[in-house]
Amino acid sequence: MDNRPIEIQTGDNPDASVIVLHGLGASGDDFVPVCEQLELEPIGAVRYVLPHAPRRPVTINNGFVMPAWYDIAALGGGSEDEAGLRASQALVEALIAREQERGVPAHRIVLAGFSQGCALTLMTGLRHRERLAGLVGLSGYLPLVDRTAAERAPANQATQIFLAHGRFDPMIPLPRAIASREALTALGYTVQWRDYPMEHSVCLPEIADLQQFLLHVLKR
């Protein structure tokens, strides 16, 4: 099976990249339609990189093997799979390094993710040692909260963060997302927050707000 990331380029020689991390049990294909709806022409050519999570047993699904960035023992919190999170963090760091090797500087790279991908985006982005353009967390939460202050990198203290969530999300309830937002603001991060009348999904108004965020953080 070819596990290379899906890539979409909006033009030749892109000088900005958006790395999009999918949710539990999904694949990079899930966010192709979202990327195709974004209109970012004012910032020039963009490369979207949509990787596929490794397959692993997932406890909440009775140990069924599926694409997952890390294991989940229970819905709504509880013990976290720190080893899995850190292994996937290394995978995302490798994707960032690859974009830099292809000529896109760190400050022109956005990390984005949905659900598990949101958690991994926040974990990796706050610890990355070069300034990134922005972080996007959709329908997710901040993992390893108690480690964030000690492990975060000063380079991304001023990096803007876009967080969006469904008010009726049964998988990651809204209060958990709000707690993550408050933890980030308490650490001094600039967070743009949006919530929508939806469940654990993505909606058109959210895509429009995301587009405006990307146009802002990637503007020349």
- C-alpha–C-alpha distance, residues 188 and 122, integer Å: 14
Per-residue pLDDT averaged across 124-151, rounded?
97
Kindly tell me if the per-residue pLDDT of 26 is higher than 80: yes
Look up 115 and say whether it is catalytic: yes
Q: Sign (positive/negative) of CA torsion 202, 77, 52, 190?
A: positive
pLDDT of residue 79: 86
Active site residue 165: no
Q: In what order do the strands lie in the sheet with 134-138?
A: 6-9, 46-50, 16-21, 109-114, 134-138, 161-166, 191-196
What is residue 78's predicted lDDT score, i.e. its pLDDT?
75
The full set of domains in the chain, from first to last, is: 6-217 (3.40.50.1820)
CA-to-CA distance for 52 and 54, rounded, in angstroms? 7
Catalytic residue among 88, 115, 139, 180: 115
Name the average pLDDT for the chain. Answer: 96
Question: What's residue 75's pLDDT?
Answer: 76
Give the model's pLDDT for residue 74. 83
Query: Per the residue annotation, which of 22, 52, 165, 200 is the catalytic one?
Result: 200
> Per residue in 170-191, pLDDT tens?
999 999 999 999 999 999 999 9
pLDDT at 179: 97
169 is catalytic: yes
The reported pLDDT for the residue numbered 190 is 96
33-53 residue pLDDT tens: 999 999 999 999 999 999 999
Tell me: the pLDDT tens digits for 63-100?
999 999 999 988 777 789 999 999 999 999 999 999 99
pLDDT at 220 over 90: no
Interval 96-111: pLDDT, tens: 999 999 999 999 999 9
pLDDT in the model for residue 117: 98
| The pLDDT value given to residue 52 | 97
Q: Where are the alpha helices (DSSP H) in the chain?
A: 32-37, 82-101, 116-127, 145-151, 174-186, 204-217
Q: What is the pTM of this model?
A: 0.97
The closest alpha carbon to 20, from 43, 41, 1, 37, belongs to 37
